[in-house]
Amino acid sequence: KFQGDDIEPVITYAEQLLKELKENNDQRHSLGKDIIRIQRDIEPAKIELETSKSAMDSWHKHWKEPMNGIGLNEDTSPEDAVEALENLRDCLEQLGKAEEAEQRIDAMDKFKDEFSGDVQALVESVAPEIKDLPPEQAVDKLQSMLKEARDLATKRNGFMERMESTEGDIRLAKVELDRALEKFDELKKTARCENDEQLYEVERNFRESVDLNKKLSQVKETLDGIAEGVPLEELDKQSLDVDPDGLPGEIDTLERQLKDELDPLIQKLSEDKGEARTRLQHMDGSGKAAEKEEEAQQALTKVRRLADNYVRLRIAALVLKKEVDRYRQENQDPILKIATRYFSELTQESFSGLRADIDNSGKPILIGIYPDGSVKTVKEMSSGTRDQLFLALRLATLEWRLEKHEPMPFIADDILVNFDDARAEATLKALASLAEKNQVILFSHHKQIVESAKALKLNNLVFIHPLSNIAS
């Protein structure tokens, strides 16, 4: 194995072998200690093993009975048993939900039958012509008929009230008209007229007299201008003193001038003057006749104004003003007070109230008041706030009506579409409060509105009826 005489490899090999022998000896010594320790622990381990086997047998006996009770094999592991129990629990929960769903379906079917019966009874009593329609269509038709009936009733009441108020104004106007006609008859007697046509003829003559006097004044003014301040009588005398033989050349010149410029004007003025004098000669020249004609003209003008314009326009104005004032006096204050409360609630107190006012053109308007006292007109409000204002006025009118009349259903369809969640919830609370004394029906296609209504937890006032289940 070793070649040569070199001892170095031999020594190295011997050292390595010695090292391995030492390691083996140490390992054998350690294993000997382990054997002694293991032999010492064998007996307690045997005793513990026997105890564990006994406990295992006892547990197995107790495990067998519950496993058989739930339909599992007695060899089923605890993990599998736990999984089986969880599955069983889930099944029981699903079974409970199924039973609950069946109960809800039964309740819905019962409600559907009751609803259909109520609708049928109502239709037969108020609108038998639509008794063959399905319940949901009949409800829509009844709602439309109710709205039309309410509109007609409102219009009829308004017409009746205006008629009653107008009758007094008409009687007063008749009295005024009778007085005017009496004055008209007195004028006919004064003017010695047997009928209205003769009085109208007197009126025309008076007007012509006024026109002729005006023309005569114009002619005199023209002649005065020609005479250059000389009176007309003096002008006539001067014309007699003129020597015709001394003015032949001047006459020729004046004739040409008269023909070209002045002659037509003088001719026309002379004709007007003669015509005016002729007409005046045919008329009564006394001052009393002229005075009476003037009175007749004034009276006739007054009668015509009273008969044609005053009576008609004045009656209409009085009727409208009294009707508006009466309605405002009777209805505005109480309704506005109630509407203020509703508007504050619906806007989450963003507005503190409402106030009637007059705009720059004199028209009545409604303004909203902020808590700090500042105001905003209806046109300046957002569309959602305007919807809340109109709803507040509608609810206020209905609540005020309840004080004097029987309740009637308040029906609204998706009126909360422009409301945010907070104002929609406030509106639902206001409707629930109104429902304590008046039936309120709110239709909506939005699930969030339904959830908000449920969140009010007013089971004695709020009832949810899904129409989709009824229609099915």
247-299 residue pLDDT tens? 455 555 655 655 565 455 555 655 655 565 565 555 554 454 455 456 545 54
Rg (alpha carbons) of the chain, rounded to whole number:
59
Of 191-200, 280-289, 340-349, where does mean pLDDT reach its minimum?
280-289
Is the model's pLDDT at 23 over the cut of 90? no
pLDDT digits (tens, 9 = 90+) for 444-464: 888 888 888 888 777 777 888
pLDDT digits (tens, 9 = 90+) for 79-134: 777 777 787 778 778 888 878 878 888 788 787 777 777 777 877 877 788 878 88
Domain ranges of the chain: 193-283, 407-472
Q: What is the pLDDT of residue 370?
A: 93
pLDDT (average), residues 409-415: 85
Query: Apex CA 63: angle with CA 60 and CA 69, to 5°?
Result: 145
More confident residue, 170 or 352: 352
pLDDT (average), residues 393-415: 85
Asked if 216 and 222 count as a contact pair (C-beta separation under 8 A), the reply is: no
Question: How far is the first Cα of the chain from the last one, in angstroms, to the nearest whole number?
Answer: 105
More confident residue, 409 or 199: 409
More confident residue, 311 or 143: 143
Is the model's pLDDT at 209 over the cut of 80? no
Q: What is the pLDDT of residue 314?
A: 41
pLDDT (average), residues 372-388: 90
pLDDT (average), residues 426-433: 88
CA separation for the pair 372, 55 (Å, rounded)? 84
pLDDT (average), residues 420-439: 86
Bridge partners for 94 per DSSP:
none
pLDDT digits (tens, 9 = 90+) for 216-257: 777 666 656 655 565 656 655 655 555 544 545 555 565 565
CA separation for the pair 143, 149 (Å, rounded)? 10
Q: What is the pLDDT of residue 330?
A: 57
Q: What is the pLDDT of residue 87?
A: 77
Q: What is the pLDDT of residue 461?
A: 78
Percent of the chain exceeding pLDDT 90 equals 4
Q: Is residue 208 helix, strand or coil? A: helix
Q: What is the pLDDT of residue 321?
A: 46
Whole-model pTM: value is: 0.33
Tokens of 250: 């001047």
Q: What is the pLDDT of residue 351?
A: 92
385 burial class (0-12, 13-18, 19+ CB within 10 angstroms)? Answer: buried
What is the three-state SS of 145-196?
Answer: HHHHHHHHHHHHHHHHHHHHHHHHHHHHHHHHHHHHHHHHHHHHHHCCCCCH
**What dihedral angle (degrees, nearest 10) is formed by the CA atoms of 143, 149, 152, 154?**
-80
CA separation for the pair 29, 26 (Å, rounded)? 5
CA separation for the pair 297, 294 (Å, rounded)? 5
Q: How far apart, in Å, are the Cα atoms of 191 and each of 177, 232, 291, 397?
A: 21, 36, 10, 61
Q: What is the pLDDT of residue 315?
A: 43
